[in-house]
Amino acid sequence: MNNVNFFDAEAVRGEFPMLVAGDKGAKPLAFLDSTATTQKPACVIDAMDDFYREHYSSVKRGVYRLSARTTEAFEATRKNVAKFINAKTEDEIVFTRGTTESINLVAWSYGRKFFEAGDEILISGLEHHANIVSWQLVAEMKGAKIKVIPVKDDGDLDLDKLPGLLNARTKMVAVTHVSNAVGTVNPIAEIIKTVRAAAPQAKILIDGAQSSSHIKIDVQELDCDFLAFSGHKMYGPTGVGVLYGKYDVLDSMPPWHGGGEMIKNVTFEKTTYADVPARFEAGTPMIAEVIGLGKAIEWINEKGIENIRRHEAEITNYALEQLAKIPQVKVLGNPKERGALVSITLDGIAVSDAAMILDEENIAVRSGHHCAQPVMDRFGVDATLRLSFGAYTLKRDIDRLIAGLQRVVRLFA
């Protein structure tokens, strides 16, 4: 299946129990909300079910065989994640509850220790709220300032402005890899190169929530300091995410949660903390979810992430071609490189109304501001209808979407 010239999307779809079941009705399910969360292949569901049925136990805390087996599976995922993004070592992989928690971890650990009054945090105008509010909170506490890379009319960042936004007070640059509201694929390598040249003291965090299952990421080649992503957006379970950090940077950071497993020694007078990554993983972890994430990564590797990306690009282009045939549809932005999503508005029609009519046709799409209100403000809209795709999306899903939108137009226009 990982042959670069072969991707059987029909067969891939058949590995997703929810989609197989959804295809059996009079109105088959067209699931077009993969940017919010992806469906799960049977192998991920089975791996988690096997854990609960066959070797449920805690990790790292028992010498008995069940615990040893579970710990081995848990730590195998850490190694698989490190290999997946080409980290130097699995010790640079911290398990969290998701991208949001990963960003908060950096903000409240690195930011709390190293930010000072007058320091600057640079984000982009395409950010999800998680990569805005987290920095606002720590900036308010430390007296730091947030600056924003502006967005052009086509949805691309105005990177001509980037050098002028960087200076000796820039402490953190936190930028999304792929916009969850427009679909813009930001040129992360170019951004990092510019930051390293103009503000070498700055740390760089990449929000990879919308890229981890679509684009091959090599953290060593990119030279980012942090990368955050979520399991549920890459065919794995909810409740688990990853923070990658360069080891020396992570090692300089204090813990942000206290509890079991993140310590070396505890007395009533003083606590010494565990080495990285255990320092940041207090308490009993999300064991089943980590195991499920490991299986999801195996599944992506088996299919080939470049194969998935090519298939999604074909689907996205097909969707754009078909949407262009409906005069009332307006596409948000026209970036140089687009991920597997398209945001639209419809002239004179509320997107929430459109989403409800599409739901009557068993077509699942997202309406709203997508936790990206500044993006909506930039383009002068309150909300959009977001159509997003995955490895299992087929052209017939797009055909059903177009028919559904045509019904919306007939009803409301």
Catalytic residue check, 371? yes
Structure token digits, residue 336: 């140089």
As a whole number of angstroms, the distance between CA 193 and CA 186 comes to: 13
As a whole number of angstroms, the distance between CA 353 and CA 359 comes to: 10
Q: Name the DSSP letter for residue 273.
A: E
Structure token digits, residue 284: 């009993």
Contact 157, 126 (CB under 8 A): yes
Residue 46's alpha-carbon distances to 50, 116, 296, in angstroms, are 6, 48, 11
As a whole number of angstroms, the distance between CA 391 and CA 289 comes to: 21
Dihedrals φ, ψ of 251, to 5°? Answer: -65, -20
Contact 406, 41 (CB under 8 A): no
Contact 230, 371 (CB under 8 A): no
As a whole number of angstroms, the distance between CA 140 and CA 244 comes to: 25
Q: Name the DSSP letter for residue 86.
A: T
Return the closest-CA partner of residue 92 out of 111, 76, 79.
Answer: 79
Q: Which of 371, 381, 402, 403 is catalytic?
A: 371
Known catalytic residues are 371
